[in-house]
Amino acid sequence: MQTDFLVIGSGIAGLTFALKAAQRFPDKKVLVITKTQADETNTKYAQGGIAGVWDFEKDSFDKHIEDTLIAGDGLCNKQVVEIVVKEGVDRIQELIDWGAQFDKESDGDYKLGKEGGHSEFRILHHKDVTGREMERAMLEAAQNQSNIEIVKHCYVVDLLTQHHLGYLVTKSTPHIECYGVYVLNLKTNQMEKILANITVLASGGNGQVYRSTTNPGIATGDGIAMVYRAKGRIENMEFIQFHPTALYEPGARGQSFLISEAVRGDGGILRNKNGEAFMERYDPRKDLAPRDIVARAIDSEMKITGTEHVYLDVTHIPTDKFIEHFPNIYEKCQSIGIDVATQYIPVSPAAHYSCGGIKTDEWGRTSIKNLYAAGECASTGLHGANRLASNSLLEAMVFAHRCFVDAAEKIKTIERSTEAELIPDWKATGTTQPKEMILITQSLKELQQVMSDYVGIVRTNIRLERAAKRLDLLWEETEALYQTTALSPQLCELRNMITVGYLIVKCAAFRKESRGLHFNTDYPYKSTLVQNIVL
């Protein structure tokens, strides 16, 4: 199969690029690949909203820029921050033009929320399901575009480069080029080769590396792992943002239900098991401090009191107001027997967002020719050491647009490589079906346990050393399985997650300081040398 534009991922970043490419080039084919349903993305589960400056009487670009730089703890690329903040309003307007509806006041003005780290009210939202509304609008727009094809249940296995032509490709190889991908078509259970002039990775995050995460099951770091295997550059993987307030449900595994930061923006108060409002002991901004501070404070309180969670108190918020703003959260709490009008909500931190990822420049270009990255899988320089709340959807749209602007010029002159035609079809000779799925499922549990226990909110040198040793063993076992058995999504995802775990541990070990989301008790202070960790 061949296409002009290949987009891997159907979240807000992938769909933004796809729509723009399809509308600009009606004679060219845009192929979007997603490994489950088209709407099963991290975007869908984004509750809080999208940040943008709308009220220029009270707010300004400079304030939003400053808030982002403060949250990023010295590692943001200021040029990129200015680009995203200033271009973001136009991208949000495009989203509205595509049909997304945000909550409004009775006078018709948009309701603006405020979350941790923001100095002004600037968050646009749709109840507490903002991401779902954005995904709905963009999917409808994409489905009305005749030259966009969305292929569901198609798992991308690897990027195609010169390596697949028999050349030795290393990190120092100049001009590594992406020709497309190998995919596993889950409907036919066949491996397929897709060649593309332009490839865009919008493959989302990697929260499933941890035992407790707000991310859906698809968030397995596939794009990051594929770029690393293809010898592309990866950056700052140690900065994993733990959302402070995931709903605590005893014995639950898999995706945790997110209690949006907007709840604290509306007045929710964190309390420990003794009912004490503890955030004032950790930061003058109290419950609206940036997420890294709040998550570490909760982690500290849990260790002090010997509990597995703290509480979020919303009993003082009028119930009708809470239901209006957070109907999804209200219904979830009701379903497990919690009456938010009279009872505290049990919460604990969960892996939520990866601030590092595939290193890109200000146009979304990766270190591999004809390969772009946007959204959570990318490290653009916006977030630095800690993402400011509700900046991620904004970044995804801005960088998807910038990828499109650059690719639109490139596609005019690009010629399909004749060498790419020589890339062989996938060979699965000599492999067998795995005899026991337990070999995969148990390794996944071990990986998530290791990452949660040793590479969580607070780290130490010895924890990182232990994690590295255990990941080495998991990698050896999984690679042996990969070489001898037929491919499955479960095996490929495990392989990718072990790679991502390794990258997180490696970057964390290299950073001899505590900064933003990375806190190592052996190096409790910031280094005077401010640097990105690039692998």
Residues annotated catalytic, as ranges: 291
Q: Which two tokens stand for residue 87?
A: 């271009």
- Using DSSP, state whether 140 is helix, strand or coil: helix
Number of H helices, E strands in the chain: 13, 18
What's the CA gap between 108 and 159, in Å, rounded?
Answer: 47
- Using DSSP, state whether 149 is helix, strand or coil: strand
Per-residue exposure over 470-497, b if at least 16 CB sit within 10 Å of its own CB, e if not: bbeebbebbeebeeebebbbebbbbbbb
What's the CA gap between 187 and 191, in Å, rounded?
Answer: 11
Distances (CA, A) of 103 to 106, 126, 128, 161: 10, 5, 10, 46
If we measure between CA atoms, which residue out of 330, 177, 192, 352 comes closest to residue 266?
330
Strands (E), 279-426: 310-313, 345-354, 357-359, 371-373, 378-379
What's the CA gap between 51 and 216, in Å, rounded?
Answer: 22
Cβ atoms of residues 141 and 149 within 8 Å: no
If we measure between CA atoms, which residue out of 228, 259, 248 comes closest to residue 356?
228
Long-range contacts of 166-175 (CB under 8 A, 24+ apart): 169/230, 169/231, 170/231, 171/231, 171/233, 173/231, 175/369
β-strands 2-8, 30-33: how paired?
parallel
